[in-house]
Amino acid sequence: MSQAPRRTVVVLAAGEGKRMKSATPKVLHSLLGRTLLGHVLVAAGAAEAEQTVVVVGHQAEQVREHLAEVAPAAVPVLQAVQNGTGHAVRIALEAVPEAAGTVVVLNGDVPLLRPETVASLIAAHESAARAATVLAAAVDDPSGLGRIVRDASGGLARIVEERDASAEEREIREINAGIYVFEAAALRAALGKLSTDNEQGEEYLTDVFGLLVEVGSPVGVFVAPDVEETLGANDRAQLAELRALLRDRVNTAWMRSGVSILDPATAWIDVTVTLEPDAVIDQNTQLKGASAVAAGAVIGPDTTLVDTSVGAGATVLRAHAVGAEIGPEAVVGPFSYLRPGTRLGRKSKIGGFVEAKNSELGEGAKVPHLSYVGDATVGAGANVGAGTIVANYDGVRKSRTVVGEAAFVGSDTVLIAPVEVGPGAYVAAGSVIAKDVPAGNLGVTRAQQRNVEGWTARRRPGSKSAAAAEVAERAAAGAGEVSEAE
């Protein structure tokens, strides 16, 4: 039995990314729920490496914190001064003196790279027993990138940076993607020979290839199956282009797996989201974070879900939900706002212009119109009428409200927490409920109604209201005469 090959991954993430013009380091900018660095680390996972070293430098603290979250096993290594990609790899390897076998180096700003491509690149390199292999791509516009210079027989001669290239070399459209595989000992030896004799005065990792060719070590080029994978994100315009490419990739995969996406150009689904077959995603919909949508649920149009789960057959229309659980066959929207801790039971309903926070609705419970429900438990089958406000906050502390099973809260009620409306109890419309309403009771706090006769005629004489009242009074009087005559 052959031993598993020893591999080390090095990710270069120390650069500032000046063209981003950002307080956030470039590798921490994100594409559909994952940072650039996070995407590269996922692709690098295909290497099945013994260890992963991430070179940090610019805003190292922020990058380290992020790494601790997304890849706690990765080892951050500080490159205090960014003296170039070759210098970065040299520092990385000094931190892991035991590293032997294969070293995979990835620029931290190539987020569309697929794990499959990393695996094929490594396989090509290892099966040919090369000292170094570079991932390349033929592009229409190579500007700003390193060029692959081939010899007369088509083999790799060296890699030249655009700034250092001759006019002839600049015509080359085959570029270096910034993803490489090396044999560790050969890489160490070549890194020791790097000079800074170039336009930027930096140690270029790319010079390793020319140095290896000089000593007769075998090097090769692996051409990426899809140019898209090699695109770097250097400014925010490029970042937006990559985001759209990733959106298309994510959406196509979901559609192939049985999800309906009605307008793929306006459905933005984070790579961390999960969807079941026969879920329907309508126009202008964003699904973010740990959101999950079950079979047959319809989301959108115009809906954003963040860390929200939606049960089978539920409908969520023009809604914004954060940290909510929407049960099977529940109905939400239009224009609803679900905040963290909202849990909606099967077949429950949150209707138009309703905001809910940290509240639970039992099976079939309904809050159909214009309400605020905060820190409340609403029992199965209860109905909370239009315009009901749960006053959960007294300015100092938040308290809970309980509405029992099959209770009926009339419209325009204020429930002042802590308070409980018992199972099967009713609350009269317009009430302000500050005391519990026991099971089966009617709670009512309305003042008696008083009608002041003839008020409009006396106080608004000559108005259109007075005229309308007069017509109505005459008609009523006339109707009275007819009935008397009968």
The contact set with ligand UD1 (CB under 6 A) reads: 12-15, 55, 57, 79, 82-85, 87-88, 107-109, 145-146, 159, 161, 175-178, 204-206, 232
Known catalytic residue: 369? yes
How many residues sit in the footprint of Ca ion (CB under 5 A)?
Answer: 1
Question: Would you say 53 or 322 has its CB closer to ligand UD1?
Answer: 53
For 109, 226, 384, 402, 469, the CA distances from 343, given in Å and listed in that order, are: 39, 43, 16, 14, 50
Quick one: which segment of 224-232, 241-249, 262-270, 475-483 binds Ca ion (CB under 5 A)?
224-232
Determine the Cα–Cα distance for residues 18 and 58; give it in Å rounded to an integer.
10
Nearest distance from C-beta of residue 94 to ligand UD1, angstroms:
14
Is residue 485 packed enough to be buried (19+ CB in 10 Å), middle (13-18) or exposed (0-12)?
exposed
Tell me which of 39, 66, 87, 369 is the catalytic residue: 369
Question: Would you say 53 or 321 has its CB closer to ligand UD1?
Answer: 53
Among 232, 362, 379, 422, binds Ca ion (CB under 5 A): 232
Under 8 Å between Cβ of 300 and 320: no
Tokens of residue 25, six digits: 């380091």
88 binds, among ligand UD1, Ca ion, none (CB under 5 to 8 A by kind): ligand UD1
Determine the Cα–Cα distance for residues 85 and 108; give it in Å rounded to an integer.
11
Question: Would you say 240 or 472 has its CB closer to Ca ion?
Answer: 240
Question: Would you say 12 or 96 has its CB closer to Ca ion?
Answer: 12
Helix (H, G, I), strand (E, B) or coil at 249: helix
Nearest distance from C-beta of residue 13 to Ca ion, angstroms:
11
Nearest distance from C-beta of residue 207 to ligand UD1, angstroms:
8
Quick one: which segment of 125-133, 216-224, 230-238, 475-483 binds Ca ion (CB under 5 A)?
230-238
Helix (H, G, I), strand (E, B) or coil at 296: coil
Nearest distance from C-beta of residue 232 to Ca ion, angstroms:
4
Nearest distance from C-beta of residue 25 to ligand UD1, angstroms:
8
Sheet architecture: strand order including 315-316: 260-261, 280-281, 298-299, 315-316, 331-332, 349-352, 366-369, 383-384, 408-409, 426-427, 442-443
300 binds, among Ca ion, ligand UD1, none (CB under 5 to 8 A by kind): none
Question: Would you say 8 or 79 has its CB closer to ligand UD1?
Answer: 79
Tokens of residue 320, six digits: 């914004």
Determine the Cα–Cα distance for residues 154 and 223; give it in Å rounded to an integer.
13
Q: 34-35 and 30-31: which strand pairing?
A: antiparallel
* Site of tokens 């080029």: 221
Nearest distance from C-beta of residue 178 to ligand UD1, angstroms:
3
Quick one: which segment of 54-62, 225-233, 291-299, 375-383 binds Ca ion (CB under 5 A)?
225-233
Under 8 Å between Cβ of 406 and 382: yes
Tokens of residue 135, six digits: 């991932």
Please count the other Cβ atoms lying within 10 Å of the Cβ belonging to residue 30: 17
Question: Would you say 60 or 177 has its CB closer to Ca ion?
Answer: 177
422 binds, among Ca ion, ligand UD1, none (CB under 5 to 8 A by kind): none
351-390 footprint of Ca ion as x/- string (CB under 5 A):
----------------------------------------
Binding site for Ca ion (CB under 5 A): 232
Give the residue numbers annotated as catalytic, written as ranges. 369
